Amino acid sequence: MKKLTINAAIILLFAAFINPFNAKSQSTPGLFDGKTLKGWKRLAGTADYKVEDGAIVGTTVLNSGNTFLVTEKEYGDFILELDTKIESKLSNSGVQTRSHYDPAGNDGKGKVYGRQFEIDPSDRKWSGGIYDEGRRDWLYPLDLHAKVKDVFKVGEYNHIRIECIGNEMRTWINGVAIADVVDTVDSKGFIGLQVHAVSKEEQANKKVYFKNLRIQTQNLKRAPFPKDVYTVNLTPNSLSANEKAGGWKLLYDGHTPKGWHGATIATFPNKGWEYANGVMHVLPSEGKEESGGGDVVTDDLYSAFDLSFEFKLTPGANSGVKYFVTLSEVTKGSAIGLEYQVLDDKLHPDAKLGRDGDRTLSSLYDLIPAKKQERFVHPIGAWNIGRIIVYPNNHVEHYLNGVKVLEYERGSKEFRDLVATSKYVVWKNFGEAKEGHLLLQDHGNEVFFRSIKVKRL
C-alpha cells in the first residue's frame, strides 16, 4: 500500500513537470472565486460579463464603447497568469494592467486608461503586444517580434503570463516570450478584462473567455526572457538588464558628445549643437544643409547592426539619420549615406518632392517611401522612436514607433535600379560600402535626439 502511494505521487509529480500549468488550474481566491464577479466592477461600456463554468465570459454588444470588468483592488508589482479564449477573428480584447478610470472621459461615458496585454486575433496577429489604452496607443506592436505572431490560437484557450515588476512589463503566450516594455508611468492600478467596442452586426454577440486567473504579489521571481527580444525602453538614455545582456550599447550618454565628431572635423562641433540635459539638440540656423554646426557622425564604423533612436521635431523641421556614411564622397552639403528621413511631412516642402512620397518621414530618402498609417506617427513636439536594422545578409528594415514601414535588399538589382534614377546615381556603388559611420543630420532646423543605442549583429 505504501509503495502504491509513492508510485502515485511520482506519477502526479511527473504530470506536473510535463505540464507546468497543471498545478495552476484554479483561480486565486480574492481575485476570482470561479463562481461570482465579487471584487470586480464594470466600467465604460455596456457589454455583458457573467460567469459560466468557472470562466468569466464577456459578450460584445452592438454600438457599445470599449467595456471593462476591473478589479476593485489596485495592484503594484505582480505576476498574473490566466487562460483566455476568443471565439472570432472579428473580435478584439485585452487585459489591463496598473490601469485607471476617468469618469469624465469619452464625453462623460467614462474612460479606462493604462497598459494593456493585447488580444488581437485579426490578420495582423498582434496578440501579446502592449497597448496603452486610452492614452498613448501602441507601445509594443508585434512587428517588433514578428516570429511569434502565430503563437496565439483563435478558438482555443491560450495561457497568458504578465509580469509587472518595477518599471518593466513583460508578456508570454503559451510559454513563449512576446513583448518587453520599460515604462516610467503607472506604479499601480487595477487589473481589467476588456470587451472591445463593435459597430457591425456580424461583430455582435461574440464571446471572450477568461479563466484560471492567478496573481502573485510577493516573492516575485522573473521568468527567463530571451536576450534577443527587442525591448521598448521608455526611460531616456538607459539600458535595461536584458538590453545589456543582448549586446546593446548607448551611443549617447545624455550628457556628453563622447563617441561623436563632426562629419568634416575631428572634434564635436563647437556651435550649432547642444548635448546636455538628456538630448542631442540641433539648433536652428538657416534651414539648409550644413548651415549650423554641420552633421555629426559616430567615431566607430558599423556594418550589420540594429540601431534604435528617439527624435522630436519642431514645426516644419527637416533632418535625418544616415548609415553607411564613408565620408569619402565629395559634396558641398550633408555627408552622403543611406538616409532614414526625419521630417515634418505636413509643413516641410520636401515631403511633396521626390517620387511617390520617398522623401517623407521614415522613408529611405529619395529611394523607397515609407508605408505608414497616420495613427502611428506621433505629433510634432512629441517623441517618436525610429529603428534601422541591417542584417548580415544586407536585408534592411525601417521602423517607426514599432511598426515596420519598409524593407529592401542592399546591393540587389532592385536597389541599384532605384539608385540609378535618384540623386545618388552620381556616386559609384552608393550605399554598398562594407561599413560606415552613423550620422545625425544638421539641416538647419531645430530637432532633438535621445536614447540612441546600437547592437552589432
> 362 pLDDT exceeds 90?
yes
Angle (CA) 421 422 425, round 5°: 85
- Alpha-carbon dihedral sign for residues 327, 331, 334, 340: negative
Instruction: Report the largest interatomic distance among the alpha carbons of the chain, rounded to a whole angstrom.
Output: 92
pLDDT of residue 63: 87
- Alpha-carbon dihedral sign for residues 250, 252, 256, 261: positive
Question: Would you say the CATH fold of 236-456 matches that of 19-216?
Answer: yes
Task: Give the mean model confidence (pLDDT) for residues 214-224.
Answer: 96
Task: Give the mean model confidence (pLDDT) for residues 441-448.
Answer: 96
* Integer Rg of the chain from CA: 25
What residue type is 280 in one-letter code? M
Least reliable range by pLDDT among 19-28, 168-177, 241-250, 415-424: 19-28
Q: Could you give the CA distance from residue 231 to residue 228 in angstroms, rounded to a whole number?
A: 9
Q: Could you give the CA distance from residue 273 to residue 352 in angstroms, rounded to a whole number?
A: 28
SS3 208: strand
* Grid cell locating 46: 455596456
Q: Could you give the CA distance from residue 37 to residue 196 in angstroms, rounded to a whole number?
A: 19
Q: Could you give the CA distance from residue 101 to residue 193 in angstroms, rounded to a whole number?
A: 13
Task: Give the mean model confidence (pLDDT) for residues 380-395.
Answer: 98
Confidence band, pLDDT 50/70/90 cuts, at residue 290: low
pLDDT of residue 286: 77
pLDDT of residue 14: 37
Residues 6+ apart with CB under 8 A from 196: 60, 66, 91, 92, 93, 94
The residue among 46, 54, 50 whose CA lies nearest residue 106 is: 46
Q: Could you give the CA distance from residue 181 to residue 103 in angstroms, rounded to a whole number?
A: 27
Task: Give the mean model confidence (pLDDT) for residues 263-292.
Answer: 89
The residue among 171, 165, 217 whose CA lies nearest residue 187 is: 165
Confidence band, pLDDT 50/70/90 cuts, at residue 315: very high
Task: Give the mean model confidence (pLDDT) for residues 155-177.
Answer: 98
213 in Cβ contact with 37 (< 8 Å)? no
Mean model confidence pLDDT for the chain? 92
Q: Could you give the CA distance from residue 61 to residue 143 in angstroms, rounded to a whole number?
A: 30
Residues 6+ apart with CB under 8 A from 425: 419
- Where would I find the beta strands (DSSP E) of 314-402? 318-325, 338-343, 384-390, 395-400
pLDDT of residue 424: 94
Sequence spans of domains, the chain: 19-216, 236-456
How are beta strands 232-233 and 176-182 bridged, if at all? parallel
pLDDT of residue 309: 98
| Comparison of pLDDT for 454 and 201, the residue scoring more | 454
Domain 19-216 in this protein, CATH class:
mainly beta
CATH 2.130.10.10 fits 236-456, yes or no: no
Q: How does DSSP assign 124-177, residue by residue?
A: T--TT-EEEETTTEEEE-GGGGGGGTTSS-TTS-EEEEEEEETTEEEEEETTEE
320 in Cβ contact with 339 (< 8 Å)? yes
Q: Could you give the CA distance from residue 225 to residue 175 in angstroms, rounded to a whole number?
A: 10
pLDDT tens digits, 320-348: 999 999 998 877 778 999 999 999 999 99
The residue among 102, 287, 286, 75 whose CA lies nearest residue 189 is: 75
Residues 6+ apart with CB under 8 A from 164: 75, 76, 77, 78, 79, 80, 97, 98
The residue among 52, 60, 46 whose CA lies nearest residue 32 is: 52
Least reliable range by pLDDT among 61-65, 120-124, 255-259, 390-394: 61-65
Residues 6+ apart with CB under 8 A from 352: none
Task: Give the mean model confidence (pLDDT) for residues 167-192.
Answer: 97
> 412 pLDDT exceeds 90?
yes
> 251 pLDDT exceeds 80?
yes
pLDDT of residue 342: 98
pLDDT of residue 25: 63
* Grid cell locating 379: 505629433
156 in Cβ contact with 135 (< 8 Å)? no
Residues 6+ apart with CB under 8 A from 137: 131, 375, 376
pLDDT of residue 24: 53
Residues 6+ apart with CB under 8 A from 48: 58, 59, 61, 195
> 198 pLDDT exceeds 60?
yes
Angle (CA) 103 106 109, round 5°: 55
Least reliable range by pLDDT among 64-73, 330-339, 379-388: 330-339
